[in-house]
Chains A and B, each alone.
With several copies, the nearest count.
Chain A
């Protein structure tokens, strides 16, 4: 199963990417997924990462079938 990669908010606009699927290949961590999905770009400071919808650090290990997401700091609702 491939890895699903998602980008949200400003990060979607900056990378020009929304969602894609990548074979896991030699990717071992969330940071590796970022590099593979963005063509080796550096991950911007304050990027938040989620693995299967839970917040994780970039060094979190990934496995086949994972959903990995990248997004900026959240900005909540109102007020």
Chain B
């Protein structure tokens, strides 16, 4: 399991590729499912210029770890990777990566989805968007669509 918070922009696919290279499990995982959430330039009907993602240092990492552990208990996974941006973020930047490696595809899809849903609902992150009308806090997390 690997949990990371990134203060700077990162390339999500390269991160996943590098992490996979470190796995001593070639030939064991038949399945990898990866979700990447990126910053959109549009939200709630407005153009968004940038965003500040505040978090609770210490509690955030702890909750990401807990979410990953719960996924590992619920499904037979070979590896879990979560990386989350914090701080100042621009449109098209990657915000979050959740990646799961397992023997079969069913568990890889379910666990990857679980990670991102739990993360959105439980991890202490708060979004402040910069729009033409000034800054605004995003009021609550968006439902899964």
Contacts and interface: CB of A to CB of B under 8 A. Distances in A.
A4 B104 CA distance: 38
B140 A73 contact: yes
B94 to A, nearest CB: 8
A79 B62 contact: no
Interface in A37-79: 50, 53, 55, 69, 71-79
Contacts of B121: 74, 76
Contacts, number: 83
Contacts of B53: 77
Contacts of A77: 37, 53, 84-85, 95-96, 116, 119-120, 125
A17 to B, nearest CB: 15
B56 A69 contact: yes
Interface residues of B, number: 37
B105 A9 contact: no
B126 A8 contact: yes
Contacts of B22: none
B119 A76 contact: yes
The contact size tier of chain A is: 10 to 19
A73 B30 contact: no
B55 to A, nearest CB: 8
B39 interface: yes
Max count, chain A CB within 10 A of own CB: residue among B84, B124, B127, B138:
B124
A10 to B, nearest CB: 5
Interface of B: 30-31, 37-40, 53-54, 56, 58-59, 62, 84-85, 94-96, 103-105, 116, 119-128, 137-142
